[in-house]
């Protein structure tokens, strides 16, 4: 007798009956770049199709995303003013804080997540407080707590620290709890690698470091065990959701975390992953929709419950067209 695995692949109705992994728009988070001002829709060269939006434009964008059934958004702010201490990051009327208010009002169905990091707010572009060329851990964590709290006060549904300082999840948890935000979940960028694939983001968010790099805090791409440990430490510190970033180059880490821990897992398909697919699609070298869907399925198959992806809106629109 021959084993005939092809029997169940014969027709689409059979294939769809035995399909193991699915992606649905509600599992996707659309990253949004927010700028000051009015009527702003600034294209980003290295991320075709993605724009920096001012708060008024965000309103329409958020409504469209909600209407398409996208699960949520994560916000990155580009402040008008940057300084060494990232003071614009925690102002009650800061660029992200105002964006949160706008989106919550315009599209209450969306989960509004804020990225908690200093790199977009420091004049030197580093993720923390710098003294003598060193990024200081504990002083940075203090500022991060203020930032997270200001996002919570603005009405964010979840905060997402992305800085990779030690101890920040525990500190942010304590700060939120003390101020009455015991109910607010933390999505930790728990296994975040020092990756070349963040290139387009730094262009989009004007957050490239003026000197040096991020290797003193982000993970070495070579280190699997350390990456797993980072995430498990964040789970112990009270993270509600763990995240692996970037996504495709680190599916092994995602898979391992799925096996080792019961928290929901997120993966961030980052700007460089988006740019590669877009560039190839624009040249006609890849079929965009099929290639994108394959990457999203792979990320889900490896163990992600949630995917942060610049394709969230496109994917949701494709699903709509099919229905």
Q: Which is nearer to ligand PBG, 119 or 296 (by Cβ)?
A: 119
Query: At what angle are helices 168-178 and 137-154 packed, to 10 degrees?
Result: 40
CA atoms of 96 and 36, how far apart (whole Å): 9
Q: Which is nearer to ligand PBG, 97 or 162 (by Cβ)?
A: 162
Q: Which is nearer to ligand PBG, 98 or 214 (by Cβ)?
A: 214
Active site annotation includes 278: no
Residue ranges in contact with ligand PBG by CB under 6 A: 115, 117, 119, 162, 198, 201-202, 214, 270-271
In the complex, the smallest distance separating the C-beta of residue 312 from ligand PBG, rounded to whole angstroms, is 12
Q: What is the DSSP string of 94-143?
A: SHHHHHHHHHHHH-TTSEEEEEE-STTTBTT--SSEEETTEEEHHHHHHH
CA distances from 282 to 174, 238, 315, 321 (A): 47, 42, 17, 21
Q: Which is nearer to ligand PBG, 55 or 118 (by Cβ)?
A: 118
Q: Please choose, from the candidates 54, 51, 12, 8, the residue with its C-alpha nearest in 3D space to the C-alpha of residue 30.
A: 51
Q: Please choose, from the candidates 266, 176, 192, 259, the residue with its C-alpha nearest in 3D space to the C-alpha of residue 227.
A: 192
Residues in the chain: 323
Q: Which is nearer to ligand PBG, 51 or 59 (by Cβ)?
A: 51
CA atoms of 8 and 307, how far apart (whole Å): 29
In the complex, the smallest distance separating the C-beta of residue 160 from ligand PBG, rounded to whole angstroms, is 8
- Residue 62: left if φ>0, alpha if ψ -120 to 50, beta else—which one? alpha
Which residue in the block uniquely carries the two structure tokens 């992806």?
309
Beta strands 41-43 and 51-54, pairing class: antiparallel
In the complex, the smallest distance separating the C-beta of residue 271 from ligand PBG, rounded to whole angstroms, is 3
In the complex, the smallest distance separating the C-beta of residue 44 from ligand PBG, rounded to whole angstroms, is 11
In the complex, the smallest distance separating the C-beta of residue 162 from ligand PBG, rounded to whole angstroms, is 4
Q: Which is nearer to ligand PBG, 119 or 241 (by Cβ)?
A: 119
- For residue 317, what is the enclosing H or E element? helix 312-322
Two tokens, residue 32: 């949004």
In the complex, the smallest distance separating the C-beta of residue 290 from ligand PBG, rounded to whole angstroms, is 22
Q: Which is nearer to ligand PBG, 63 or 146 (by Cβ)?
A: 146
Q: What is the DSSP string of 38-76?
A: SS-EEE-TTSTT-EEEEHHHHHHHHHHHHHTT--EEEEE
Q: Which of 13, 38, 192, 278 is catalytic?
A: 192
Q: Please choose, from the candidates 44, 72, 39, 45, the residue with its C-alpha nearest in 3D space to the C-alpha of residue 58.
A: 39
Q: Which of 13, 38, 82, 245 is catalytic?
A: 245
DSSP letter assigned to residue 289? H
Active site annotation includes 82: no
Positions marked active-site: 192, 245
């Amino acid at each position: 007798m021959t084993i005939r695995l092809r029997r169940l692949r014969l027709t689409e109705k059979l294939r769809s009956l035995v399909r193991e992994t699915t992606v649905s728009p509600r599992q996707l988070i659309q990253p949004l770049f927010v700028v000051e001002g009015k009527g702003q829709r600034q294209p980003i060269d290295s991320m075709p199709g993605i724009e920096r939006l001012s708060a008024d434009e965000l309103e329409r964008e958020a409504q469209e995303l909600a209407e398409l059934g996208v699960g949520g958004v994560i916000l990155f702010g580009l402040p008008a003013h940057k300084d060494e201490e990232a003071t614009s990051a925690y102002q009650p009327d800061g660029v992200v804080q105002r964006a949160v208010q706008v989106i919550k009002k315009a599209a209450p169905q969306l989960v509004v997540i804020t990225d908690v990091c200093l790199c977009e707010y420091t004049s030197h572009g580093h993720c923390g407080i710098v003294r003598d060329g060193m990024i200081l851990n504990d002083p940075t964590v203090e500022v991060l707590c203020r930032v997270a709290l200001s996002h919570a006060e603005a009405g964010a549904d979840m905060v997402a620290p992305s800085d990779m300082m030690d101890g920040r999840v525990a500190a942010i948890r304590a700060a939120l709890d003390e101020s009455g935000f015991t109910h607010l979940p933390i999505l930790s960028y728990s296994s975040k690698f020092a990756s070349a694939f963040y290139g387009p983001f730094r262009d989009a968010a004007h957050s490239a470091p003026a000197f040096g790099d991020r290797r003193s805090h982000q993970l070495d791409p070579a280190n699997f065990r350390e990456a797993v440990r980072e995430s498990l430490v964040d789970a112990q510190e009270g993270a509600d959701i763990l995240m692996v970033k970037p996504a495709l180059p680190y599916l092994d880490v995602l898979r391992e975390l799925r096996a080792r821990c019961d928290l929901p897992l997120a993966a961030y398909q980052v700007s460089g992953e988006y740019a590669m697919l877009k560039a190839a699609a624009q040249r006609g070298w890849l079929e965009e929709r099929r290639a994108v869907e394959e990457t999203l399925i792979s990320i889900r198959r490896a163990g992600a419950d949630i995917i942060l992806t610049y394709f969230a809106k496109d994917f949701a629109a494709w699903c709509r067209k099919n229905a």
